[in-house]
Amino acid sequence: MAINKGPLISVIVPIYNVEKYVCQCIDSIIAQTYKDIEIILVDDGSPDNCGAICDEYASKDNRIKVIHKENGGLSSARNAGIDICSGEYISFIDSDDFVSPYFIEILYKGIVFNESDIASLKHGIYFIDGDDENVVFAKNADDCTIIDIAQREIIKMLLYQGVSNGAPWRLYKRKIFKELRFPVGYLFEDVGTTHKTFMLAEKIALVDASIYAYRVRKDSIVHMDFSPKKMDAIPISKSMMNDVLKYDQTLKKAAMSRAFSINYQIFLQAPFDDIESRKKLWTEIKKYRKTVLTDMSPKLRFKNRAGAAISYLGMDVAWKIGRIMTNK
């Protein structure tokens, strides 16, 4: 059933070089049961036909606004959407993903549930590119579980990677982004931003529902081959650590677990002969490994503890074993 009355919700979609996927994404947003939305398509200087596709959609649906801009990266595109959006609430959807027709309706139910500033999904549906047909969404708008969660608790879950770190998966009250923006020029911008959104929220609802389909691509930023830009993991993880320690010192172990995880992930992607990059990442890994290894929290991921243990075998051995364990 279509929901035609409610506060305006802005859906921001950064778009770059996704001609193969963008129609599926936009169509899934147009099909939302919650109809009072504006759809902001940000063509981030895409070199393919994405810009023309966006314009064509805008000509057919007056809820769609298109921004054409020079390429500035994912953060820049999201920020451009935030700057012009009119909604009382904001959601982000990546242009190679797609969502359930109940995506906005269910997240808005989370907002209403306890007058939340953020309704956050616990998880999404990860699927391998090309396996779209096997994605199974929620049956209806009631096919979900919503709980009130304390600010500190969801930040802890986020740091222990029990809640997705990405900017999508959520519905945010506009005030969260009154001054907050995504860091331009960095990879892993979500690691540097998502915890801040929770810190700015007075009330948060945690939603368990199968409504966001996340496409796992070989050429995505996370899975693409190592490049010097991936060294952004170091300053981003340091910034996150500083934010968390200022907020609550009792979350230090959780923050160190997250910092260890991202630096170890990039360490394993670095080529064996790129000794300089590996050494820089290794310095960060050694800062966190003892705390990760001795952290008895049930929220700590086994792979983090295993990585910390393996690291004591030395940089080269840890790299080789880690690569084998992660099939790199």
Residues 171 and 300 in one domain: no
Residues 162 and 289 in one domain: no
pLDDT at position 220 over 90: no
How far is CA 22 from each of CA 4, 27, 46, rounded to the nearest angstrom?
A: 25, 8, 12
pLDDT at position 4 over 70: no
Three-state SS for 170? strand
How many domains, the chain? Answer: 2
Domain assignment present for residue 62? The answer is yes
Please report, for the domain that includes residue 200, its CATH number. Answer: 3.90.550.10
216, 237, 255: which is the final residue of a domain?
A: 216
149, 181, 216: which is the final residue of a domain?
A: 216
pLDDT at position 77 over 80: yes
Burial of residue 323, with CB atoms counted within 10 A of its CB: 0-12 exposed, 13-18 middle, 19 or more buried: middle
pLDDT at 5: 73
pLDDT at position 3 over 80: no
Residue 315 vs residue 132, higher pLDDT: 315
pLDDT at 217: 78
pLDDT at 219: 59
Domain assignment present for residue 222? The answer is no
Give buried/exposed letters for 205-230 (b at 16+ CB in 10 A, else e): bbbebbbbbbbebeeeeeeeebeeeb
Residues 164 and 193 in one domain: yes
177, 195, 216: which is the final residue of a domain?
A: 216
Residues 289 and 191 in one domain: no
Beta bridge partner(s), residue 262: none
> Is residue 292 very low, low, confident or very high in pLDDT (cuts 50, 70, 90)?
very high
Domain assignment present for residue 223? The answer is no
Distance of CA 323 to the CA centre of its chain: 24
pLDDT tens per residue across span 180-214: 999 998 889 999 999 999 999 999 999 999 999 99
> Is residue 1 very low, low, confident or very high in pLDDT (cuts 50, 70, 90)?
low
pLDDT at 57: 98
Q: What is the overall mean pLDDT for the chain? A: 94
Residues 140 and 44 in one domain: yes
Residues 143 and 288 in one domain: no
pLDDT at 326: 81
pLDDT at 52: 98
Dihedral pair phi/psi, residue 212, rounded to 5°: -130, 120
pLDDT at 2: 62
Residues 147 and 211 in one domain: yes
Residues 55 and 185 in one domain: yes
Residues 175 and 291 in one domain: no
Average pLDDT score over residue span 9-22: 97
Average pLDDT score over residue span 268-296: 97
> Is residue 225 very low, low, confident or very high in pLDDT (cuts 50, 70, 90)?
confident
> Is residue 80 very low, low, confident or very high in pLDDT (cuts 50, 70, 90)?
very high
Domain assignment present for residue 221? The answer is no
Cβ atoms within 10 Å, residue 245: 14
Domain of residue 184, residue span = 9-216
pLDDT at 200: 97
Residues 178 and 299 in one domain: no
Residues 139 and 101 in one domain: yes
**Type of residue numbered 204:** I
In terms of pTM, does the model score above 0.85?
Answer: yes
